[in-house]
Amino acid sequence: MNIAKNSQPKEMEDNSDPVFDSLRKRGHRITAQRETILQIFRDQPHGEHLSAEELHARLVERGGSVSLATTYRTLKLLSSLGLLRELDFAEGHKHYELKQDTLPHQHIICTGCNLTLEFEDHFLEEAGQKIGARYNFEVIDAQFKIFGLCPNCKSGKLTRGPIK
């Protein structure tokens, strides 16, 4: 990836970043691609999710020469390490967001228009941890999704698409 040193945000140069510390402790290198991908997610407004294709387009916009395959591999790695959340909204592809322990949230998704709303419920977070512990799993992420029809689709104000 061709990114000039001076084009990286200041926090990217900080070696004490907890996310990068986590990667290093697990034996992974901090590549320019990983730094840039994490920064793109940090810059996302709260509640917005990116697909691999959307992330790849942003990387290209920033002047990167990273392939879509590398984007997918990096997303998979960062998700498996618990740094990103991999989300499936039943659209045929995954979405990703930066995992933020301070804002645990879940999703309710309209199967008619794909409207996705976030909500917080600490009971669900605790239940995920308890179930993981019961089966001796280290829980990296616990997700609860509700699928249904939003008020507009329910009332017929919007044309419903097929349920995927």
Helix, strand, coil percentages, rounded to 5, for the chain: 40, 15, 45
pTM for the full predicted model: 0.59
pLDDT value of residue 105: 77
User: Which tens digit of pLDDT belongs to each residue from 22-74?
Assistant: 777 877 777 878 888 888 988 888 778 899 999 999 999 988 788 899 999 99
List domains and CATH numbers for the chain.
1-100 (1.10.10.10), 104-164 (3.30.1490.190)
State pLDDT tens for residues 2-20: 333 334 443 344 456 777 7
Q: Does the structure show a pLDDT above 60 at 146?
A: yes
